[in-house]
Amino acid sequence: MEQLAIKGGSPVRNEKIFYGHQWIDEEDIKAVSRVLCSDYLTCGPAVSEMERVLEAYTGAKHAVAVSNGTAALHCACIAAGIGPGDEVITTPLTFAASANCALYCGARPVFADVDPETYNIDPESIRSHITDKTKAVVAVDFTGQAVKHEEIRALCDEYGLVFIEDAAHAIGTTYKGRQVGSLADMTCFSFHPVKTVTGGEGGAILTDREDFYQRLVLAHTHGITHDENMMEDGPHEGPWCYEQISLGFNYRITDFQAALITSQMKKLDRFAARRKEIVKAYNDAFSEVPGIILQKEIPESDTCRHLYIIRLDFEKLSCTRREFFDAMSAENVQCQIHYVPVYWFPYYRHLGYEKGLCPNAEDVYKGIMSIPLYPKMNDTDVADVIHAVKKVARGYETA
């Protein structure tokens, strides 16, 4: 048996590999450079072009580009009419923004539990948390796997709720052949550097509903309009006139970010295909490794995976998660943890949330670890990660 690097053995790799990394090529650089040499750095044609590209790719009628994924979620909550006294159901196994967006509007996040095998929000748990105060569901496509759309859609229709999909992980994923982005009432994307498509930062909201679209446009740009049809004070004096008709925010995206995202979208199918190749290699390699549990997928989701998560089975390992994590780092494979249950954070604790609300999510969290997954990984990188996981699992395997 190989000696673990953390115990004095030789590491699997000489250079560290991290869990995620962007892939920027010459075409991306040229796209950004063209904007930097143009007349518009913001509020220009590159933003509109990005929105049209997203509409064409997803099949949604409307796209609104914003500054980041958190802004997308906030704007979606505003468009849904969420306010003080309302409740918004979401998952605790996500980045904090999926719940914070309700708080931004004065509403209360309510945490439903996850399926212990897929790690996505459980529709039956959603149902059990619906009250007469529930206004919306923010369902997160955790790791890129689509949530159970049909079940959640049926619940939202039954109770008159707005279905907001946090698809920050899931651009390129389809559900029963339909692109994520065209399924929920509003779908929110993120273009952070570790996502499949990046603009450095950036986000977008997709919707088919005209009323939501009009509210999203206002929400992301100060609540200000130049559209005479929306103005309330009668005919304006000239083309310089505008009105603020609601309270909005400055969530605009720049043209050079939008140009980068548009350029990256041309490569999305190739990026997704490579991610799927790596996921298959991992699944094949780890399916029979003692101490490693793999995330299950529903057959309806053709997943472009943002994260690849292994879950440690501590009945078959003689280590803690921290020891496994540090041992992987010593092999020069740097992992990450996604995510600490949102209501465990001090801020939420001070709001009255307590541990124990979602037993499945808490149990899953205690054993999960994200290993490297991004399209620029070559076959040697993939083989090294597989080698490291197997080596560390064997090194800590119980007798």
Question: Which pLDDT score, from 0 to 100, does residue 143 have?
Answer: 98
Question: Going by CATH, does the domain composed of 26-265 fall within 3.40.50.970?
Answer: no
Give every CB contact of residue 381 below 8 A, 6+ residues apart in sequence.
17, 372
Question: Which pLDDT score, from 0 to 100, does residue 77 have?
Answer: 98
Question: Which pLDDT score, from 0 to 100, does residue 236 have?
Answer: 77
Question: Which pLDDT score, from 0 to 100, does residue 172 have?
Answer: 98
CATH topology of domain 5-19+268-395: Aspartate Aminotransferase, domain 1 (3.90.1150)
Question: Which pLDDT score, from 0 to 100, does residue 97 have?
Answer: 98
Task: Answer yes or no: are the C-beta atoms of 115 and 135 closer than 8 Å.
Answer: no
Question: Which pLDDT score, from 0 to 100, does residue 290 have?
Answer: 96
Give every CB contact of residue 38 below 8 A, 6+ residues apart in sequence.
44, 255
Question: Which pLDDT score, from 0 to 100, does residue 160 have?
Answer: 98
Question: Which pLDDT score, from 0 to 100, does residue 328 have?
Answer: 98
pTM over 0.95: yes
pLDDT digits (tens, 9 = 90+) for 116-174: 999 999 999 999 999 999 999 999 999 999 999 999 999 999 999 999 999 999 999 99
Give the residue extent of every domain in the chain: 5-19+268-395, 26-265
Low-confidence ranges of the chain (pLDDT < 50): none
Question: Which pLDDT score, from 0 to 100, does residue 266 have?
Answer: 98
Query: Which three-class secondary structure string do you get for the chain?
Result: CCCCHHHCCCCCCCCCECCCCCCCCHHHHHHHHHHHCCCCCECCHHHHHHHHHHHHHHCCCEEEEECCHHHHHHHHHHHCCCCCCCEEEECCCCCCHHHHHHHHCCCEEEECCECCCCCCECHHHHHHHCCCCEEEEEEECHHHCCCCHHHHHHHHHHHCCEEEEECCCCCCCEECCEECCCCCCEEEEECCCCCCCCCCCCEEEEECCHHHHHHHHHHCECCEECCHHHCCCCCCCCCCCCEECCCCCECCCEHHHHHHHHHHHCCHHHHHHHHHHHHHHHHHHHCCCCCEEECCCCCCEECCCCCEEEEECCCCECCCHHHHHHHHHHCCECCECCCCCHHHCHHHHHCCCCCCCCHHHHHHHCCEEEECCCCCCCHHHHHHHHHHHHHHHHHCECC
